[in-house]
Homo-oligomer: A and B are copies of this chain.
Amino acid sequence: MPTITAAQLAELLGGTLHGKAERLLSAVSTLESASPECVTFLANARYAALLDVTQAGVVLVAGGTRREKGDVIEVADPYSAFVRVLEYFHPAKEFVAGIHETASISADAHLGANITVGPQCVVEAGAQIGDNSVLEASVFVGRDSTIGKNCRIYPNSVIRHDSQLGDRVILHSGVVIGADGFGFAFEKTAYRKIPQVGIVVIEDDVEIGANTTVDRATIGETRIGQGTKIDNLVQIAHNVRLGKHCVVAAQAGISGSTVFGDYCRVGGQAGFVGHIKIGDGAAFGAQSGISRDVESGEVLSGSPGRPHGIWKRIEAALPRLPELLRRVKRLEDRLDIDVPNKESDRAR
Q: Which residue numbers of A lie inside 8 Å of B, CB to CB? A: 28-30, 32-33, 44, 46, 77, 79-80, 83, 86-87, 89-90, 100, 102, 104, 118-120, 122, 136-138, 140, 142, 154-156, 158, 160, 170, 172-174, 176, 179-180, 182, 184-185, 187, 189-195, 197, 205, 207, 209-211, 213, 215, 218-220, 227, 229, 231-233, 235, 237, 239, 245, 247, 249-251, 253, 255, 268-269, 271, 273, 275, 286-287, 289, 291, 303-304, 306, 310, 313-328, 330-332, 334-335, 337, 339, 343, 346-347
Contact = CB atoms under 8 A, between A and B. Distances in A.
Given A90-B195, A104-B102, A268-B253, A173 B160 contact: yes
A140 to B, nearest CB: 4
Contacts of A239: 30
A49 to B, nearest CB: 13
B209 A211 contact: no
Given A232-B235, A319-B346, 11 more contacts: A120-B120, A138-B156, A140-B173, A173-B179, A179-B232, A189-B245, A310-B319, A317-B325, A321-B321, A328-B328, A334-B337
B182 A232 contact: yes
A324 B324 contact: yes
Contact of A158 (B174, B268, B269, B315): B174
Contacts of A79: 185
Number of copies: 3
A182 to B, nearest CB: 4
A28 B197 contact: yes
A28 B317 CA distance: 52
Contacts of A192: 80, 83
A250 B269 contact: no
Contacts of A328: 324, 327-328, 331
Given A232-B213, A346-B323, A347-B323, A122 B155 contact: yes
B46 A275 contact: yes
A308 to B, nearest CB: 13
A214 B155 CA distance: 15
Contact of A324 (B122, B180, B291, B325): B325
A313 B155 CA distance: 48
B231 A182 contact: yes
Contact of A122 (B104, B119, B291, B319): B119
21 contacts: A29-B220, A30-B239, A86-B194, A102-B102, A104-B137, A120-B138, A138-B138, A138-B140, A138-B156, A154-B160, A172-B179, A176-B210, A176-B211, A210-B215, A232-B237, A233-B253, A251-B251, A269-B271, A287-B287, A327-B343, A331-B332
